[in-house]
């Protein structure tokens, strides 16, 4: 199963001749950058550039909806990357040691995967949300934790800056984030403000030339390693949701007043370093306000639906991983003289796992395609973005449990990846808004359509 995907087949180690790629634009060529295959810069035709004016606040400059062939090629290239760099041994070691393989960031950057929705002028691919889902799905298929760290960097940080940053902020921060020289994160949750983000207690008090941030952030993915963090704080606490501001906070080692209180030891997504961050009079210049003062909720909501949509691709990869583990095992392992796959109980589980994956995949990519194809005036339905991750996350946990059951005693052993897949999948029912919150969001979206307040 590692050699196949929902949209195409790949042969191990196969490379298409470079001559066959001559039609690819700069955007596509960037995806193909590897040590052995690098594409020269080729400018866009003037007519194409005119047709692709920046018409959307949700998509990068020069965006046009990708073709199915482009998405298939992107998937194949991402699979090629994971075969080389995120081997089963790397995935298991990342989980067992609870340490992110830091060399991976530059490799992801060199492969052109960290800035899929960023403008080309900053090193990005100028692609959209279908492409982002494809990459996250295949990275998560190889390692759920590496996929999660990738999503926190490329969606929660890079895309948030693309959606809300000014030209100076983009020029300053995006090149390093896209290349993998800087790790990005987003810090919103606190001990007493998880799903209820408006009740956060972190404050940002005005001072000469900027603000001093004080408070604690909890459960921050990439927090222990990040060099740049999108941080939400209260600039006018008495105003509640109308007194919140988003900041771009530089957090390299030695930043005065900033510290990582602890790296958290999690049930799953181990190796996707998650931490508790402390801010003690951390100075942030006014130039690093993301959006405008007291409009942090607008910044938050600007990307929240898209965050839910893209993150729904993580569970898709984990469902594929569950099938990758289970299918070979049940066809090779014999009980009572026949392969386990001959047992109708096992066949039923395989059917359920596959159907859950296909249904979840169809939901996610249908919504992503609708957003990409309506890029001039994007159609983004809150209930569909929340529904995609709600459905995929719960199905992924079920598939992880079924994988363990199909493997029997071996499924319960740490040396097998089935337990890791199940533990990783459970995170998606909790992080980025719990399943319960997603159901509330969907219900409230319908209430809004019918004129009800809640």
Q: Which of 23-37, 159-173, 315-329, 357-371 has the lowest mean pLDDT?
A: 23-37
* Predicted confidence (pLDDT) per residue in 206-237, tens digit: 999 999 999 999 999 999 999 999 999 999 99
Query: Would you call 180 helix, strand, or coil by DSSP?
Result: coil
20 against 428, higher pLDDT? 428
Interior CA angle at 379 toward 378 and 382, to 5°? 125
**Would you state the pLDDT for residue 27?**
43
Mean pLDDT of 107-131: 95
Predicted confidence (pLDDT) at residue 276 exceeds the cutoff of 70? yes
Distance in angstroms (rounded) separating the CA atoms of residues 147 and 421: 12
Distance in angstroms (rounded) separating the CA atoms of residues 119 and 127: 8
Whole-model pTM: value is 0.87
Residue 215 gets the label, from left (phi > 0), alpha (psi -120 to 50) or beta, of left
- Ranges of beta strands (E only) in 143-302 are 184-187, 203-207, 210-221, 228-234, 244-250, 258-263, 274-285, 289-290
**Would you state the pLDDT for residue 433?**
87
> Following DSSP, what letter does each residue of 281-309 receive, concatenated?
EEEEEGGGEES-TT-HHHHHHHHHHHHHH
Residue ranges and CATH numbers for the domains of the chain are 18-183 (1.10.540.10), 186-296 (2.40.110.10), 298-449 (1.20.140.10)
Task: With beta carbons less than 8 A apart as the criterion, state whether 231 and 213 touch.
Answer: yes
Mean pLDDT of 94-108: 94
Query: Would you call 206 helix, strand, or coil by DSSP?
Result: strand
* Predicted confidence (pLDDT) per residue in 363-374, tens digit: 999 999 999 999
| Structure-derived torsion over alpha carbons of residues 232, 443, 303, 91, reported in degrees to the nearest 10 | 90
**Would you state the pLDDT for residue 73?**
96
Mean pLDDT of 60-82: 95
Q: pLDDT band at residue 29, thresholds of 50, 70 and 90?
A: low
Average pLDDT over all residues of the chain: 87
Predicted confidence (pLDDT) at residue 48 exceeds the cutoff of 50? no
Q: Which long-range contacts (CB under 8 A, 24 or more apart) does 430-434 make?
A: 431/219, 431/221, 432/307, 432/308, 432/311, 432/389, 433/195, 433/308, 433/386, 433/389, 434/195
Rg of the chain in Å (alpha carbons): 22
Name the β-bridge partners of 206. 211
**Would you state the pLDDT for residue 367?**
97
Distance in angstroms (rounded) separating the CA atoms of residues 174 and 444: 35
Mean pLDDT of 424-434: 94
**Would you state the pLDDT for residue 57?**
80
Mean pLDDT of 326-338: 93
Distance in angstroms (rounded) separating the CA atoms of residues 259 and 69: 46
Q: pLDDT band at residue 39, thresholds of 50, 70 and 90?
A: very low
**Would you state the pLDDT for residue 41?**
36
- The residues annotated as belonging to the active site are 307
Predicted confidence (pLDDT) at residue 273 exceeds the cutoff of 80? yes
| Structure-derived torsion over alpha carbons of residues 200, 206, 209, 211, reported in degrees to the nearest 10 | -20
Q: Which of 3-7, 131-135, 146-150, 442-446 has the lowest mean pLDDT?
A: 3-7
Distance in angstroms (rounded) separating the CA atoms of residues 454 and 451: 9
Q: pLDDT band at residue 153, thresholds of 50, 70 and 90?
A: very high
**Would you state the pLDDT for residue 454?**
64
> Following DSSP, what letter does each residue of 312-376 receive, concatenated?
THHHHHHHHHHHHHHHHHHHH-EETTEEGGGSHHHHHHHHHHHHHHHHHHHHHHHHHHHHHHTTT
């Amino acid at each position: 199963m590692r050699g196949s995907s929902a949209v195409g087949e790949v042969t191990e180690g196969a490379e298409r001749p470079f001559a066959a790629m001559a039609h690819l634009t700069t955007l596509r060529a960037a995806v193909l950058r590897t040590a052995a295959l690098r594409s020269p810069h080729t400018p866009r035709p003037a007519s194409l550039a005119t047709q692709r004016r920046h018409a959307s606040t949700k998509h990068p400059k020069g965006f046009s909806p990708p073709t199915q062939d482009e998405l298939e090629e992107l998937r194949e290239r991402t699979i090629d990357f994971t075969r080389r760099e995120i081997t089963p041994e790397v995935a298991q070691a990342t989980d067992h040691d609870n340490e992110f393989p830091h060399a991976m960031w530059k490799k992801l950057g060199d492969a052109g995967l960290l800035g899929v929705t960023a403008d080309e002028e900053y090193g990005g691919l100028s692609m959209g949300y279908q492409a982002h889902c494809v990459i996250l799905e295949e990275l998560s298929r190889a390692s759920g934790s590496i996929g999660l760290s990738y999503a926190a960097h490329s969606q929660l940080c890079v895309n948030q800056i693309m959606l809300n940053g000014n030209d100076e902020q983009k020029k300053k921060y995006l090149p390093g984030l896209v290349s993998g020289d800087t790790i990005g994160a987003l810090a919103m949750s606190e001990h007493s403000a998880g799903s209820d983000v408006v009740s956060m207690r972190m404050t940002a008090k005005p001072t000469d030339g900027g603000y001093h941030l004080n408070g604690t952030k909890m459960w921050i993915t990439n927090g222990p390693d990040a060099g740049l963090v999108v941080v939400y704080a209260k600039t006018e606490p008495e105003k509640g949701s109308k007194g919140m501001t988003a900041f771009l906070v530089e957090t390299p080692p030695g930043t005065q007043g900033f510290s990582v209180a602890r790296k958290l030891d999690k049930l799953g997504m181990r190796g996707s370093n998650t931490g508790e961050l402390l801010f003690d009079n951390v100075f942030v210049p006014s130039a690093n306000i993301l959006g405008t003062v007291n409009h942090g909720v607008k910044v938050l909501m600007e990307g929240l639906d898209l965050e839910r949509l893209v993150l729904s691709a993580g569970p898709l990869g984990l469902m594929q991983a569950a099938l990758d583990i289970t299918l070979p095992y049940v066809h090779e392992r014999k009980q009572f003289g026949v392969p386990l796959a001959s047992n109708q109980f096992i066949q039923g589980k395989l059917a359920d796992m596959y159907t859950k994956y296909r249904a979840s995949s169809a939901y996610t990519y249908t919504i992503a395609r609708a957003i990409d194809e309506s890029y001039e005036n994007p159609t983004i339905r809150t209930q569909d973005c929340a529904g995609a991750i709600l459905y995929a996350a719960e199905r992924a946990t079920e598939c992880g449990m079924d994988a363990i059951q199909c493997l029997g005693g071996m499924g319960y052993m740490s040396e097998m990846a089935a337990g890791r897949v199940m533990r990783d999948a459970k995170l998606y029912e909790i992080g980025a808004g719990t399943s319960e919150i997603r159901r509330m969001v969907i219900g409230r979206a319908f209430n809004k359509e019918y004129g009800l307040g809640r």
